[in-house]
Amino acid sequence: MEPRTPPSEIVGPELSADGADELPGLGFTPEDTVRSHDRSRVDDARDSGRRWYLIWLLIGPGILAMLGENDGPSMISYATTGATYHFGFFLPFIVVTFLIAIVCQEMCMRVGAVTHRGYGELVIQRYGRLWGWFAAGDLLFTNLVTLVAEFVAIRIGLGFFHIGAGIAAALGVVLVLFTLSGGRYWRWERISLGLALFNGLFLVAAIVSQPDWGSVGHAMVTFSPFPGGSFNTLLLLVASTIGATVTPWMIFFQQSASADKGLTPRDLHHGRLDTAIGGVLGAVFGCGALIVGAALTSHSAGFSVDGLPRALRSASGGLVGTLFALGLIEAGAVAILTISASSGYAVSEAIGRSSSFNSSPGSARTFYAANVVVAAIAAGVILIPGAPLVSIALNANVLATVLLPVTLVFMLMLANDRELMGRWVNGRALNLLSVAIIVFISVCGSAYGIDSFLQTVHLIGS
């Protein structure tokens, strides 16, 4: 049952009363039968006017994408930025990057809900296998590097409690295997959401650290002081902050998860709400990590990434160090689940196989295997003696920033494909904003790469 019945040529959705027949010719896949049980609850909640229950049923992909991106390396990056520059420019910049993320993720949610197809599958159908495989290969490379960084974050968090790297590696793989065991998207999503809520530990740590809230508020409204020091370091942290918020895997994940969840055009309002809630929570928790790290400004001489929770214990007390360490474990664990899922979606969609948590492992072998294999490879890397793990963790976000523009260009093209999207295509204002975002991200990533290259060949000083 693994091979997926190829959909007929996708045509523009026609309007209908309930959104159920807006994609003629696509037909049903085996997982659609399983998904229909979840959709019946949505219909019942909508028909009976149970608004909050309907919200509860429809949220998920957006929150997971945003909080999954508040991953281990991102929170380490935020804390390191706080330790380097205190509040200043980067605190409100985190909020700006999450606003960018909301714009990008709303598009992929909308495309997934309207077409019921994942990002990789649509790229292949609309632009050919070459570009589809390129997008999937780009994602898998980025995901593998990022997954290694997630295991590093878990290792750092567990190390605070004197637990070794072997446990960190085993924990991540076992978690992936456990969440895959249910054969239902709903079950996987709810487990992941439950874990994601503990991203709030970074906010709790920030409150316990007792910062100067007046300085926090001033930084939020003034974007000052603008950071000085090494220009290359500044470019690195700008690129890393962008890559800590918007990445290729998020595009793959939320579009495919929206389709896997069974969202339809009738659910677009709730999909946008889900994405916005995730963006707000992600920004608040990310700012919390930076605020916690700002306590290390006067301790930066003895600060190392590998010993970040211990440094926070010395600067702000044992509870702050403990909360941050637990937060790193949570952040890495949730990201392992969501990034592995995006890998499974990408590989399966690229080769035309079943790509759904609603399929059994026997009928979606490629999807489930890709989830586990990428996590297992990353887990194995952190056990290699002498591997530059801290360097990988610090540069994973920069890599995501450099590779992101290509993914966003295809996303923008799909969202403007009138034959595919019908009346749900992007508006002119959204297109202008999206182009500006792509240009901004491209310039930031390129500027860091060019500056680093010029320093390497000694054409400019550091």
Give yes or no for residue 461 having a pLDDT over 70: no
Which residue in 308, 314, 281 sits closest to 293, CA to CA?
A: 308
Give yes or no for residue 143 having a pLDDT over 50: yes
8 vs 252, which has greater pLDDT? 252
pLDDT for 449? 75
Q: How far apart are CA 97 and CA 244, in angstroms?
A: 9
> How confident is residue 132, by pLDDT bands cut at 50, 70 and 90?
confident
**What percent of the chain lies above the pLDDT cut of 90?**
53
Each residue of 103-118: pLDDT tens digit?
999 999 999 999 999 9
Mean pLDDT value of segment 137-155: 90
Q: How far apart are CA 368 and CA 281, in angstroms?
A: 29
316 vs 19, which has greater pLDDT? 316
Mean pLDDT value of segment 139-168: 91
What's the whole-number average pLDDT of the chain?
86
pLDDT for 344? 93
Mean pLDDT value of segment 448-456: 70
> Which residues does 28 contact at the CB level (< 8 Å), separation at least 6?
none
pLDDT for 27? 52
pLDDT for 19? 40
Give yes or no for residue 261 having a pLDDT over 90: yes
Q: How far apart are CA 112 and CA 122, in angstroms?
A: 10
Each residue of 290-319: pLDDT tens digit?
999 998 876 645 567 778 899 999 888 999
pLDDT for 303? 60
pLDDT for 238? 82
361 upstream amide cis, omega within 30 of 0: no
**Rounded to two decimals, what is the model's pTM?**
0.88
Each residue of 411-441: pLDDT tens digit?
999 999 999 999 999 999 999 999 999 999 9
Handedness of CA 58, 356, 145, 302 (dihedral sign): positive
Lowest mean pLDDT among 69-83, 389-403, 415-429: 389-403
Whether the Cβ atoms of residue 264 and residue 20 lie closer than 8 Å to each other: yes
Each residue of 190-242: pLDDT tens digit?
999 999 999 999 999 999 999 989 989 988 888 776 676 667 777 777 888 88
Q: Structural domain boundaries of the chain? A: 64-456
pLDDT for 22? 41
Mean pLDDT value of segment 169-189: 88
**What percent of the chain lies above the pLDDT cut of 70?**
88
Cα three-residue angle 405-337-275, rounded to 5 degrees: 55
Does CATH place domain 64-456 in 1.20.1740.10?
yes
| Token pair of 118 as six digits | 């994942």
Which residue in 39, 18, 441, 31 sits closest to 256, CA to CA?
A: 31
Cα three-residue angle 142-144-149, rounded to 5 degrees: 95
In SS3 terms, the chain reads as CCECCCCCCCCCCCCCCCCCCCCCCCCCCHHHHHHHHHHHHHHHHHHCCCHHHHHHHHCCHHHHHHHHHCCHHHHHHHHHHHHHHCCCCHHHHHHHHHHHHHHHHHHHHHHHHHHCCCHHHHHHHHHCHHHHHHHHHHHHHHHHHHHHHHHHHHHHHHHCCCCCHHHHHHHHHHHHHHHHHHCCHHHHHHHHHHHHHHHHHHHHHHHHCCCCHHHHHHHHHHCCCCCCCCHHHHHHHHHHHHHCCCCHHHHHHHHHHHHHHCCCHHHHHHHHHHHHHHHHHHHHHHHHHHHHHHCCHHHHHHCCHHHHHHHHHHHHCHHHHHHHHHHHHHHHHHHHHHHHHHHHHHHHHHCCECCCCCCCCCCCHHHHHHHHHHHHHHHHHCCCCCCCHHHHHHHHHHHHHHHHHHHHHHHHHHHCCHHHHHHHCCCHHHHHHHHHHHHHHHHHHHHHHHHHHHHHCCCCCC
pLDDT for 453? 62
CA distances from 204 to 191, 199, 201, 312, 326 (A): 22, 9, 5, 14, 11
Cα three-residue angle 257-263-266, rounded to 5 degrees: 155
> Which residues does 453 contact at the CB level (< 8 Å), separation at least 6?
none
Give yes or no for residue 279 having a pLDDT over 50: yes
Give yes or no for residue 81 having a pLDDT over 70: yes
> How confident is residue 51, by pLDDT bands cut at 50, 70 and 90?
very high
